[in-house]
Amino acid sequence: MPQVLTRELVRFAPHDGAHRPALRCAISVAVPMLTLLAIGRIDLVGATAFGAFTAIFARDLTVPARTAVQAVCGLGLTASVAIGVAAAHLPATPWLQLLVVVAVAAVATVGGEMIAWKPRGPLFFVFAAGAFAGSAPMPAGWGVQAVVTTAATALFATLVGSAGRLLPSHAPSRRPLVVTGFRKALSQRPVTDIIVACALTVPLTVALGIEHHYWALVAAVVPLTVVGTTGQAARAVMRIGGTVGGLGVAAALLVPELPMWGVVLVVIVLQGVAELLVLRNYTVALLFITPLALLVSHVMHPGPEVALLLDRLVSTSIGVVVALLVLAARIAADRIAADRFRRSADRAH
């Protein structure tokens, strides 16, 4: 087990045409963000970033299947932003907002199991709902604009993903869409594990006074979306190591106080490079994912940079610890079940 885990941590997967989805992601975030910059509506950059996440999904599918999955994910991301905007108007206590985000995580996990989207799990939906739920209540008109911006960006990202129809030579190497029934999806292991992890994370973040509660939820969810206990343990370690390194990159980008056009250009580059590396080595990808998340967060909620960096480290640590506890509990439960089955089989013979 330790050797397998170590090998997983240092493994660098083949390129496998990663430049194509990376380019799609970069285009999907670049055009809407540059448009916002041109019209002076940089206040909607967060909505654009979450809508552009649509491009991340279904890189392994044939083009028609990718279009269908990205359309569903785009709707899901738009709904997550709408739910987050509405949740921000709930009474001034983190509990209600966090419960709303946990509900989004549960629904997105089941939905992901039904159509097997990749990257697996509710990560981006939790991120979208949590970012807006944790912000100060905004006027209704602005909230509608944020939702519409998310939807428009998601639609654009889906159209960019559908452009692969012009390149049919890539289709044979991709898998078709496989749909699983609701009941079967509901019974899958990630659903239970993720809901338990979220339920444990919420009171911890509230008790410790973490500002960005949803970051801890994201960190708790990420390791549990990977297949196999070794992969989950490796992803948890990668999340911590990559986040620490990514915080150094983020500090280098946040301290100079880049002009808004510079922030937009950096976000575009980070999005593309992160997608280029995320399936090859998650730790290295986090060197770009972490500053990307922090730059978007800083634009949405300006504040002291040091406090932002520290909050990211603490919230990520909490989430990863919870994920490892859930993983350990699952391994123990599986061993107990296996021992009981073995004893029953021995008695039967």
Return the number of other C-beta atoms located less than 10 Å from residue 138's C-beta.
16
Asked if residues 286 and 239 have their Cβ atoms less than 8 Å apart, the reply is yes
The Cα 210–Cα 250 span in angstroms is: 19
Say what the pLDDT of residue 4 is.
Answer: 60
pTM over 0.85: yes
Token pair for 252: 């280098």
Say what the pLDDT of residue 191 is.
Answer: 86
Distances 141 to 34, 42, 84, 147, 148 between C-alpha atoms, Å: 22, 16, 15, 10, 11
Say what the pLDDT of residue 106 is.
Answer: 93
- Do you find a cis peptide bond into 119, omega within 30 degrees of 0? yes
Token pair for 330: 């699952």
Return the number of other C-beta atoms located less than 10 Å from residue 57's C-beta.
27
Say what the pLDDT of residue 166 is.
Answer: 62
Say what the pLDDT of residue 269 is.
Answer: 95
Which residues lie below 8 Å from residue 27, measured CB to CB, with a gap of 6+?
55, 160
Say what the pLDDT of residue 134 is.
Answer: 83
Token pair for 191: 């659903």
Nearest to 197 by CA among 168, 225, 217, 179: 217
Say what the pLDDT of residue 343 is.
Answer: 78
Say what the pLDDT of residue 329 is.
Answer: 92
Say what the pLDDT of residue 92 is.
Answer: 67
Say what the pLDDT of residue 2 is.
Answer: 65
What pLDDT tens digit does each residue of the chain (349 aa) get?
Answer: 566 667 767 778 787 788 888 999 999 999 999 999 999 998 999 999 999 999 999 888 888 889 999 999 999 999 999 999 999 988 867 888 889 999 999 999 999 999 888 888 899 999 999 999 988 788 889 999 999 999 999 999 999 998 866 655 554 456 777 778 888 877 777 888 999 999 999 999 988 888 888 999 999 999 999 888 888 999 999 999 999 999 999 999 998 888 999 999 999 999 999 999 998 899 999 999 999 999 998 888 888 899 999 999 999 999 999 999 999 998 888 888 778 877 777 676 6
